Structure 1
Amino acid sequence: MNDEELVLRTELVEACRSMNRLGINKGTAGNISVRYGDGFLISPTGIPYDKLTPEHVVAMRWDATFDGDVLPSSEWRFHRDILKARPDLNAVVHTHSTFATTVAILGKEIPAIHYAIASAGGPTIRCAPYAVFGSQELADNVVTALEGRRACLMAHHGVIAAHVSIPRALALAVTVEELAHQYMLCLPLGEPPVLSDAEMAEVLEKFKTYGQQSPKTISGLHKAS
């Protein structure tokens, strides 16, 4: 195991523990993967996160083979297929966070109730149709629901968030849970008003330059000499 792989394995273990600390996951539910080498690293099945070590993380190849005696997450198929289909994404976080899963049970997508939904890549967060966990059908449904998006719900199951790194994917999973919470609070009062397509297009454009970058790229902002 080289230094780069050890860093990614350690980051993955810490993110698994963080899911529980952040309240977006419980027990051994949920799983995380990250692109590495000729395949990806993925959390193992059935090992409590407080006992997880970098050595437990499973290195899988694109053909679904792996070495060693530790079994990968039962959801390895959708992790593999997302990373294969989306070269723009390097890490996948899956949780059963309470409010996002509640919306998924209802079979609803999360509409543009708040501009922060743009962090998931589009004006909505879609809900993939139900299929049994670990199945190829579920993987296919998820890849379709993620087209043009970085997050989706899974009917009667949970949520997926994917991004360029594990920290970014984990942060997005937290944002999706917040949006789902807001949506569920609105629903007893009726379907909430949403931002228009034009308003969301403006937000999505601004999100392309959101975060730390050169001040020269931001309109109206100048660095003092």
Structure 2
Amino acid sequence: MTNTNMNDDLPLRQQVIDHALQFASSGLSVGKSGNISVRCAQGFLITPTGMDYSALTPDDIVLLLPDGEPAPDQARQASSEWHFHCGLYQARTDINAIVHAHPTYCTALACSEKNIPAFHYMVAVAGGNDIPLAPYALFGTEELSRHAINALSERQACLLAHHGMIALGNNLNSAFNLAIEIESLAKQYCEVLKLGNAKLLSKQQMDEVIARFANYGQRT
């Protein structure tokens, strides 16, 4: 029998709330848009659907089991995007947190059906030589989940066509900070596009950056 005592994961629930409250101030999302989840012993904790983040309390955070089913006695309904959170945790055992948001520049590129190519070496922060674009699918669907899982099979972040972005991490801090970095890169790339054709780094150059990143800094 699954133990769903809220006190067991209270610190994680508070982390979810703390990061959700930073959506607006960070520029990642406005209003009630975006969602956050973190893996826990019973499955994963995720923000509820349609609630003002400033009003969240720990019991508003929804516990979903590994198969996506709500644990017994949840006070709220999970975010409508729970499908791709669930699918990503199943596909990526190396990640423990997911941030999905609709920041301005990532969304502008996604609505133009553009990925973020190797215009700057920091693109490698997402784990490869680009930040891919997942094809469009209706929000909250299994189809969107499949597209996100494919786009993130070898990356830590992606754009979602006509929608927004996703960032993954070992923990909520790393996922949230990566989301902010991706939005900064998206803003820079939008400015580059105004100047004309973007000049891109080669695969060899990006491979060198990726190799350097493997032992650089204190990325958590």
Q: Which of 13, 19, 35 in structure 2 is aligned with 1:15? A: 19
CA distance in 2, matches of 1:110, 1:212: 24
CA deviation string 1:111-167 (max 9, x = no partner)? 111111111111100000000000000000000011110000000000000010000
**Which amino acid in structure 1 is aligned with residue 27 of structure 2?**
G
Give the superposition deviation at 1:2.
6.1
Number of matched pairs: 213
Query: Which residue of the other structure, out of 70, 78, 85, is the alignment partner of 2:91?
Result: 85
User: Using the alignment, how far apart are the partners of 1:62 and 1:212 within structure 2?
Assistant: 30
* Counterpart residue type for residue 169 of structure 2: H
- Write out aligned runs for 1:60-209 (5 A): 60-66=64-70, 67=72, 68-209=74-215
The CA deviation string for residues 7-27 of structure 1, in whole angstroms up to 9 with x for no partner, is: 111011000011111111100
Q: Provide structure 2 residue ranges, at least 5 long, that are not aligned to the other structure.
A: none
The structural deviation recorded for 1:3 is: 5.5
Which residue in 2 is equivalent to 1:26?
30
1:34-58 CA-to-partner distances (Å, cap 9, x unmatched) read: 1111310000001101111111100
Aligned-pair distance for 1:191? 2.2
Q: Could you say which structure has the larger radius of gyration?
A: 1
Distance 1:212 1:160 in 2: 22
Gaps of 5+ in 1: 214-225
One-letter code of the match for 1:142? A
Letter in 2 for 1:33: S
- Normalization by structure 2: what TM-score? 0.94
SS of structure 2 residue aligned to 1:148: coil
Does structure 1 retain, via aligned residues, the 8 Å contact 2:59–2:75? no
2:9 maps to: 5
Q: C-alpha root-mean-square deviation of aligned residues, in Å?
A: 1.3
TM-score, with length taken from structure 1: 0.91
Identity across matched positions, percent: 43
Q: Distance in 2 between matches of 1:105 and 1:139?
A: 18
Give the distance between the partners of 2:63 and 2:148, measured in 1 at CA: 22
**Aligned pair in 2 of structure 1 residues 94, 119: CA closer, same or farther (>3 Å)?**
same
- 2:167 is aligned with what amino acid? A
User: 2:38–2:44: 8 Å Cα contact kept in structure 1?
Assistant: yes
Query: Aligned-pair distance for 1:63?
Result: 2.2
The AA in structure 1 aligned to 2:23 is M
Tell me the secondary structure at the aligned position of residue 198 of structure 2.
coil
Q: Secondary structure at the match of 1:202?
A: helix
Contact 2:98 2:172 in 1 (8 A): yes
What displacement does 1:4 show?
5.4
